[in-house]
Every structure is written in structure tokens, then in C-alpha cells.
Amino acid sequence: MKPQIKIILSNFFFEYETPRQVLVRNKKVAVACRIIQMGVLGYIIGWVFMYEKGYHAIDTAIGSVFTKMKGVSLTNISGEERIWDAADFVFPEQGASSFVVMTNYIATVGQQQDKCPELPDGKNKCTTDKDCDKGKYKRQMTGRCISNTSTCEIYSWCPVEDDRQIPDPAILLTSENYTLFIKNSITFPHFNVVRSNLVESVNQSYINTCLYHPKTDPLCPIFRLGDIVELSGFSFSEIARLGGAIGLLIDWDCNLDLSIRHCEPKYEFYGLYGTGRNDKEKPSLGYNFRYAKYYVEKGVEKRTLMKVFGVRIDIIVNGRAGKFDIIPTLTAIGSGVGIFGVATVVCDLLLLHFVTKKDFYKNMKFKHTEIPEETPALP
Amino acid sequence: MKPQIKIILSNFFFEYETPRQVLVRNKKVAVACRIIQMGVLGYIIGWVFMYEKGYHAIDTAIGSVFTKMKGVSLTNISGEERIWDAADFVFPEQGASSFVVMTNYIATVGQQQDKCPELPDGKNKCTTDKDCDKGKYKRQMTGRCISNTSTCEIYSWCPVEDDRQIPDPAILLTSENYTLFIKNSITFPHFNVVRSNLVESVNQSYINTCLYHPKTDPLCPIFRLGDIVELSGFSFSEIARLGGAIGLLIDWDCNLDLSIRHCEPKYEFYGLYGTGRNDKEKPSLGYNFRYAKYYVEKGVEKRTLMKVFGVRIDIIVNGRAGKFDIIPTLTAIGSGVGIFGVATVVCDLLLLHFVTKKDFYKNMKFKHTEIPEETPALP
Amino acid sequence: MKPQIKIILSNFFFEYETPRQVLVRNKKVAVACRIIQMGVLGYIIGWVFMYEKGYHAIDTAIGSVFTKMKGVSLTNISGEERIWDAADFVFPEQGASSFVVMTNYIATVGQQQDKCPELPDGKNKCTTDKDCDKGKYKRQMTGRCISNTSTCEIYSWCPVEDDRQIPDPAILLTSENYTLFIKNSITFPHFNVVRSNLVESVNQSYINTCLYHPKTDPLCPIFRLGDIVELSGFSFSEIARLGGAIGLLIDWDCNLDLSIRHCEPKYEFYGLYGTGRNDKEKPSLGYNFRYAKYYVEKGVEKRTLMKVFGVRIDIIVNGRAGKFDIIPTLTAIGSGVGIFGVATVVCDLLLLHFVTKKDFYKNMKFKHTEIPEETPALP
């Protein structure tokens, strides 16, 4: 068997097959065909390679964000002056990527565990004790109806909060001038690249003086709260009064074939939960939450309940880096060659079905196995 | 040289090559071949295009979540009634996407900086002062052994917390009826689409009355805590006592070729850290953390230490949108044509190796360069 | 018309076309061609399939992280001993994936709302009241210059914080020995796989005793704070004094074709915001934030302001799972066949342009439609 294997191997290595082709001299078909082929080639080179960078392997970033608010507000409520600094108005305090800046509040000072009548907000009137069924859902009633307020008595932190009237204008309207400093670090784990939003051009002296502006200072990591609100499409006085949520998108789109210096963040702002960009959806107005400051007075636990209205800022990092890689390149080429094959099929269709001399061309292209044309009837 | 270039160009544009082919009239091979080809075609059209939507460009969502818990619990511990509202039992308070609802606790009231004996939990007995080595790891010992408790004296917030007995049943068992309101906003940055979980059919009047139910109200953004727990496979009384972590997945799978109205969230629930879905893994029981409420009494700083057991809910947004795009479409077509090529190779293999008249077909298909068959031996 | 359709269908099903080919016996071209083809085949099989697992469908994980710090520090500031436990030094307390461990602080005890002179930090000197313009940006001045400190009087929480001197060494330097316990749960929604970092080999008895070490205990979920800091490239005494941010990356790279047991996390550590891995970028030194503990003393609201320096740890989950899937497999094959087509084009180029007998081969390969060669001039 050995010599036979040798022949097969020698045939395999020293002989190579290439398809036989007909060169069709037909202007119409040839021009149409070349235009289709050049269109495909143009699409592959121009669009897939140049524009969409089909030769790029893509990695998405994992990021980490640190924030710091700065600012002081002075309020004057019925003659009592009070200062608010960052420790008072930022929640949570440790500089997370999602936080709330208080702009308005309803404080209920000195609540303690007790029984007191519900807030008469129109929906919960009672006339007799029977209206105050003990087992009722969601409220812990004592079963008594208080004639003063015409509401049921409940177990509660007393006095109950009165949030029927939201302060207007917002108490901390000067929060417009607070500044937000953002540090953002991203990692492209696939490419082993780490990058910070404090890029080369953002040095210490620049940070000390700059303020973000979409046109003039697009890389400054310090933002005025009022600017953020307005760039996201809200009116500051409205959002300050009722609260609202804003998405601050840090968008990284990096081409790592170029110098890393060109890998820079882009900041975008939009209202969350339906407002902003897409105004077909109805805005869900307002953002508020309650928190309590507990203390002990004369052995009794008390709390100051704050209903906080504020600007909630969600910092969202969206990072994407591309870098030349052989696999997507060859995949793009391979699939491009495939599309070339489609072009050839289309050309053949034209040639064999839409041309006057189509039978002649069919004869040229195809050979039938039934009537072998290679054996000419010789005399 | 100019005329030659002209000839080359004219050849290029007016002449086009198409492969010559043999039409093989062999039923077996032809049928086999057509079946393979139609299988490939069916796969490409049916599976890649229709089912997997290979013509779609894909974008993943970046999302933002706001939560609000509502509910009140009344507890009665040795005669002392106490009311718990959202400001008391939600951590953190500002409505983050990951939060804890307290369902059980061990409170240690009035701790202050002092020296006191360790908790006798069986593992840290001492008989003489020698057993209480000052430099010991993790505890700050004074070096004395207290005979009363047979434990070492330590520097600590005193009295030390006694968490040997977890309250059973959970103190805030009524937390089952708390409700959770979720607002979720997602953005598909590539497609510039913003969407909220308060979709068109979820209007204000619906929100006021609805409660999530997987079958009847799958879009209602208000969830009963007890339902969440049960849908994720836990028993409420158990999780309330020892705590546990639940993933609440908001799943968006949007086809942006259709109306945006069909882009709706799906809510899913599962136990985290090993329980739930996949019960081959052992559940890691319990979820608890400690926090302190500080206060000053008669000039001395004190704190109330709370060991909180609760339901931790992690809201995870998983969004994916597809939209028709020319590049994935052509890539799918191109790679489909490539697979067609594989089909042709398989057919040829059948023809040239597994058919009785294979040598005849070989002769038809191949032309050898050594013995040119085109020159018939003429007389 | 029916018989004609029958003929077309019978032709379609019983006749199949295969390209005619020339077998070229030219050692140079054949060997070059085979080498190119085998290179392409090797690339497709070896690289795309074996190394890059081109037959895998990929899913990225959505994860959830729970953390718990343990440890106690004893400080002695001017004779006053004080104990710090986890409830005192972790922010936020509920075990989030991003948290801060306090290692140093500046406490300003007993602040209350008042007027007091600004801190004389060199930049804000005044000599007369005129220097203290009421409307000035960022500070709420009363308009008076205090001669004692030569600074303006401001509305503020008084006394103002004096952060000119950061305690050196860090007050809580023993925080090096704190331990961090991490529970991480990930979900591959596409594959419906849930996995926890407490893998099979990490059982309860192992957790009770183990401590993470990159070489000997790479799966132990308990980390010493000092180790984390050093593995991320910081010096502990420095970071403890000024604070810093560390990324703790939990990297899952799972091949779900194998047993799920092999799907294990890998822990990586690096400094955020410019330090660490990539030391071309300048580190942005320090991490601090302020928070306030409020209390009421004799009816007056007071607060203890803490400027906290600490180690911020951001736990980032990066999960990726691959599983055999027919679509990527066929896409890879199809695009491989496409690249094969490129190889054929290159071979033909060699044959038709760089070989001495090229005109002979051209003649063999191409048939011109103008001078039909099939009609031999017979006598």
C-alpha cells in the first residue's frame, strides 16, 4: 500500500486544482457585475473596515466612581438662620456613584413613640370610633376617633409629619451653586488598560480653577449642580422643590490603536424615569425619601424626621474600547468573501436569464454529463 | 504603456469570469446534495434570521433604579409598644437599587466606651488572668479575668452585645405586608432609546391600586415584600428571622423594529448566594449587619447598637435590545454563503468517492495540465 | 405549463452542478498553495476553535455582592482610650459592594449653628471688615473681620473644623488586621446558571480558618485589609493616613462545557484613579469624606463632624461564560470557508502571474466566449 499513499501525497502536494472559468465578453453583464462587486468591496472596506472598524476586538469597561459635593447654604426659616454643608445635604455621605443632594425638606422635630391623631389629609376622616377599625391595613390604629382633627388615633412617631404643603420656593435654592467633583476610573480587563477621567490635560492647576462646560471645558471633572440640572432638561427651581433624578453618563469610546491620550471621557446628562431626551413619555414628577436623626432626650428616644426632596444623580459609566485583533479582521474578511460569492451568484443570474444570448452562455458555462461533449463523432 | 493599461481596464470592465460547471445527472448525489443545501438554507433563514434575529444589531442597557418601601409595623416587647416606619427599617434610606429591609434585630441600648467582660459564648472561658493575654489577636484585652462570667475583660462598647439568642419569631414579622415601589429607567446608548418601567399601560390610576402578580399584574411596579420572598423560593418566617438576600432581576428584551410599546420589563426573583434556582448549591443562611445610633447623654457619648437581620434586595437590570442593521445582516449572509461552500464540498466528496461512476465524473470535473485533453489526436 | 414545471423541478432535484477544475501539476505553485491553505486551516482550527473557542456562545454575568468587615481597634488620644468596631468604621454599614473602611480621622466635637471666624489657612486673611464681603461666593460671611485670627466671621457649624494637620501616623493603623468577608453571587441569564464564590471546595470549616493568599488560598473569601492594600500596590501606612481607593475585581471566566465545579472566581486587586497597574498615570492622592453624627444637648442641635480618611474598596464583578452553541460554530466555519476562498484567490494570482508557463495555465483555466474553442475546425 505504501507506494499508493506516496502517490496520493504527491498528488496532494504537487498538484493543485483551480476552477475553470469562462471569460464572458458581454458589456452589459460585465459592467453590472463589476459595479456590484465594487459595491460589495466598497462596503467591506469603507463601511465594515473604516467606519465600523470591523478589525477591532471590542472590550467593555468596568468602572468605579468617586464623587464629592462642595457648597454651603444659609437658610432663614422664621428668623432662625441655619447653615447646611456637604455633611448635611449629601446622602450617602461617602461619595458613591449614586447620591442625592437635598434641595428642599420638611422637618418634623422631636418625634417620639406615642399615640396621636392621623394627619387630616381629606381621605381619612372619621366621626365615631367605629370608623377606626383596629385591624386596618397599613396603619396601626388604637380604635379611637379624635374629634379635634376628625381623624383616627394611631400608634406612631408623634407628632405625625405634615407634608401637605411642600415649601415653595425650595428652601435650599442656593444649592444651584454647589459643585460636584467626579473621579472615574475604568478598566478594560481584556486589554489590561486602566484609565482615569483625570486625563493628561486635566492637571492639578486646571482642576483648581475649571468648571465643566460642554463646549469650552468638556473634560473638566467639576460640575455646577445648576448646570447639570439644566443640561439634562429640567428647570432648577422645579427640580429643587419637588426633587428629580438625573443620569450623568460618562461615555468612553476608545480606539486603543491610537495613543491612549486620545481615550477621553464624554459627559452626558439626561433626566431619568421618563423626562428629558424622550419627551413622549410622561415625567414621573418628584423624588423624595425620608430619613431620621435619632437622639435621646431625658432618657426618651426621639427623632427628627426629614422628608428630603432633592436631586438624585446616578453616575453611569459606559466604556467601550476597540483594538486591532486578527480574529475579527479575518472574520470580517471571510464574511466579506462570502458576500462576494453572493455578488457572483447575482451576476450569473443576470447572465443566464436576462441576456439575449443566454443559451450560448449557458452552453459555455455548463457541461452535461449525459451527452458527453468531449467525444466528437469522428468519421 | 497607455494603450496597454486601456486594454487591461477594458478587459476588467467589459469581461467577467464565471466558473464553468458540470451538470451531473445523478439522482442519488443530486438529491443528497439538494437536501444538504436546503438544510443549510433552512438553518440560515429559519434559525439565524428568524429565530435568533441575526439581522439585529444588539445593544445592552445601562439602567438606573429608584426604590421606595412603604409600611408600618407595631411591635410589643415586654409591654413596650413601638412603631417602625420606613425611615426606621430601610437601609440605606435614599432609595438605592440595593437595600435592606429590617425584619428582626437585637438592640443593645446605651453602650458606652468602657471595660467589661466578654460574652460567655463557650469558646472564650478563662480561669486566671494569664488566660487573658493582652496582645491577643482581634480583641483588645485588659489582661484581667472576671470571675463572674469566667471571661476576659476587654476594652469595648459596654455592655457587650448578647446575640446568642436570635428572636424567634422575627420581631417585625408584619413586614410581610410592606410594599416596594420600583422605578427603573434604562438607556440603550447605541440606539439612543430611553425607556422606563412605567410603560404606557401603567398609568397613575393603575399604580395607585395595583399589586404585582406574575400572572395577573406582571407590569405593576409595586411589590409586596412577602410575595417577593416567596417568589424567590424562601419561606418568609425563616428569612424574616435570620435574614437573606434576594435578587430582583428586571429583564428587558426589546425588539426595536417593533413599536417601542412592546418593549416591556419582566420581573424575576431568585435567592442569592446559593439558594433558590439552583438547589444543588447549599444556601448560605442568614444576612445581618450591625449599625449604631450615636447620642450624647450627660456629656458622655453613647450608642444603641443594632444587629439587624433583614431581607436584602438587589435590583439587577439586564437589558438587551435588537434593531435591524445592515452589518450583522450582511455578516450573517456572508457567513451563510460560506457554509453553502461547505455543502458543495460535501456534495463533491460524495460524487467523487462514493459513486460507482466516480471515475467518469472525475474526468468530467477535472482537466489535467499534463495530458491536455483538448487536443484531439486528429489524423 | 405543468410539464415544464415538472422538468424544472426534476432538473433542480436530480441534476446538480459542480465546478469544473484544472489540476495544475506545478510543484512551486502547488506547494505554496498547500502551505497557504494549511495555514488557513491551522488558524481556523487551532486559533479560532481551540484557543479562542469560536464555537462558544458567550454570556456576561450579572452579579451581586455582600461584604462584611470584622475587626476592633483601640486608640489612645491624649490619654483617652477608645474602641472602634465595625459599626463605627465601615460606611455604609449594610454590606454594600462599595464601601469605606475608616483608617484615620479628624473629629470636630460639639459643633453647633453659630457665627465664628474662618480657619486661618493662609489664603483667607482679612484686616478690615471690608475684606469680608457679604455676598461672596461659597462662604456665608457675616461681614466682620475677627482680629484674633485675622479671618472673616462666617455663619457655620462652630467651631470650624481644623483639618490643616492630618494625624500622622494614621490613628487606626491597626486596621491592617481587619478582615473582609465577601459573598458574591453571579447569574448567567442566557444559560440560566447561578453560581456563588463559595464554591464546592470552600466549605464552612474552611471559611472558619482560611485567609486569602494569592498562591496558597486563592479561593478563600476572607481577606486581610493589609493584604488587599499591598496586593494593589499601595503602602499601608500611606493609604491609612491619606486614604485611597482600591478596586477588587472578582473575575469569572467559565467554560460551561466542562463541569460547573471548574467555574471559579479569581480575585484581583488594583489601585483606582490612576495608581497601581499603570504607573504612567499620576496617582490622585487621598480619599476622604465628611459625615456628621447629630445629637441634641439641652435642646440645642449639635453634631460631631468627622473628616474620615479611609480605604475605599470597590468590588467589581466581571463574569463571562462560554458554552458550545451551533450558531457561533457555524458562523466561524462559514467565515473560515470564506478565508479559504481568499487562499484560492492568492494561489491563482501566483499561477497566472508569477510562473513562466503562465500563458499555458491561463489558457487552461479560462475559456473565451468570443472565439469558441469547442468548435474545432474540422476538415
Secondary structure of B122-149 in HEC code, one letter for each residue: CCCECCCHHHCCCCCCCCCEEEEEECCC
Cβ–Cβ gap A17/C20 under 8 Å: no
- pLDDT at position A104: 94
Distances (CA, A) of C50 to B99, C55, C257, C329: 43, 9, 13, 12
Does the pLDDT at position A372 exceed 60? no
DSSP state of C258: S
How far off is chain C from B222, nearest CA to CA, in Å? 22
Q: Given the DSSP bridges, would you call strands C244-255 and C300-324 parallel, antiparallel or unpaired?
A: parallel
d(CA A362, CA A350): 12
Question: B14 and A30 in contact by Cβ < 8 A?
Answer: yes
Distance CA(B20)–CA(A362), nearest Å, equals 9
Of A30-44, A221-235, B46-60, B135-149, give the range with the top mean pLDDT. Answer: A221-235
- For B324-364, write each residue's pLDDT tens digit: 988 888 877 877 777 777 788 888 888 888 888 878 878 87
The model's confidence at residue B375, banded by pLDDT at 50, 70 and 90, is very low
Q: How far apart are CA A48 and CA A328, in angstroms?
A: 11
Q: Which pLDDT band holds residue C135 (cuts at 50, 70, 90)?
A: low
Residue A379 pLDDT: 41
CB C358 within 8 A of CB C352: yes
Q: Which among A26, A270, A335 is the nearest to B335, CB-wise? A: A335
- Going B353 to B355 to B357 to B360, the CA torsion angle's sign is negative
Task: Kindly give the interhelix angle for C27-42 and C326-353, rounded to the nearest 10 degrees.
Answer: 160
Name chain A's partners: 3 or more CB pairs within 8 A: B, C
Has residue A279 got a pLDDT over 50? no
Q: What is the pLDDT of residue B284?
A: 52
State residue A23's pLDDT score: 82
Residues 56-115 of A with CB under 8 A from C: 62, 64, 66, 68, 70-74, 81-83, 85-88, 92-97
Quick one: which of A320, A247, A333, A240 has its CA closest to A288? A240
Verify whether the Cβ–Cβ distance C66 to B338 is below 8 Å: no
Cβ <8 Å between A342 and B327: no
With H, G, I as helix, E, B as strand and everything else as coil, classify residue A320: strand
Residue C285 banded pLDDT, cuts 50, 70, 90: low
SS3 (DSSP) at C256: coil
Q: What is the average pLDDT score of chain C? A: 84
Cα separation, C159 vs C48, whole angstroms? 68
Q: Which subunits have 3 or more CB–CB pairs within 8 Å of chain C?
A: A, B
List of E strands, C189-281: 193-196, 222-224, 244-255, 265-271
Cell numbers standing for residue A364? 459555455
Chain C nearest-CA distance from B128, in A, is: 23
C374 touches chain B (CB under 8 A): no
Percentage of chain B lying above the pLDDT 90 cut: 28
pLDDT in tens, B75-119: 888 888 888 999 999 999 888 889 999 999 999 998 999 888 888
Does the pLDDT value for residue A321 go beyond 90? yes
Mean pLDDT of A24-50: 84
Higher pLDDT, C242 or C345: C242
Partners of C327 on chain B (C-beta within 8 Å) are 47-48, 52, 54
Q: What is the pTM of this model?
A: 0.84
Query: How many Å apart are CA A106 and CA B119, to the nearest integer?
Result: 43
Q: Which chain A positions have a beta carbon within 8 Å of B74's beta carbon?
A: 140, 155
pLDDT at site B377: 43
Q: d(Cα A343, Cα A29) in Å, to the nearest integer?
A: 12
Residue C5 CB-density burial (10 A; 0-12 exposed, 13-18 middle, 19+ buried): exposed
- Of A82-91, A136-145, B207-216, B292-301, the poorest mean pLDDT is in A136-145
DSSP letter, residue B364: H
Cα torsion through A233, A236, A240, A241, rounded to 10? -90
With cell 442569592, the residue in question is B272
| Higher per-residue pLDDT: B123 or B262 | B262
Average pLDDT on A271-294 reads 66
Question: Residue B259 CB: number of other CB atoms within 10 A?
Answer: 9
b/e per residue, C227-256, with b = 16+ CB within 10 A? bbbebbebebeebbbbbbbbbbbbbbebeb
Q: B312 with B287: CB under 8 angstroms?
A: yes
Is omega for the bond preceding A92 within 30 degrees of 0, making it cis?
yes
Asked if the model's pLDDT at residue C377 lies above 50, the reply is no
One-letter amino acid for residue C286 of the chain: G
pLDDT at position C315, please?
93
Closest CA to C64 of B232, B163, B60, B292: B232
What are the distances in angstroms from CA A205 to CA A85, A185, A238, C21?
Answer: 25, 20, 35, 72
Q: How far is A33 from chain B (nearest CA, A)?
A: 7
Please confirm whether the linkage preceding A169 is cis (ω < 30° from 0).
Answer: yes
Using a CB–CB cutoff of 8 Å, tell me whether C187 touches chain B: yes
State whether residue A374 sits within 8 Å of chain C by CB.
no
Per-residue pLDDT tens for C75-122? 888 888 889 999 999 999 888 889 999 999 999 998 999 888 888 877
Please count the other Cβ atoms lying within 10 Å of the Cβ belonging to residue A11. Answer: 13
pLDDT higher than 90, residue A227 = yes
Closest Cα in chain B, distance from residue A247 (Å): 8
Choose from A15-24, A136-145, A158-167, C270-279 the range with maximum mean pLDDT: A158-167
Extract the C-alpha cell encoding B62: 445601562
Helix or strand or coil: residue A90?
strand
Tell me, yes or no, if C343 comes closer than 8 A to chain A by beta carbon: no
How many of the other CB atoms lie within 10 Å of CB of C147?
11
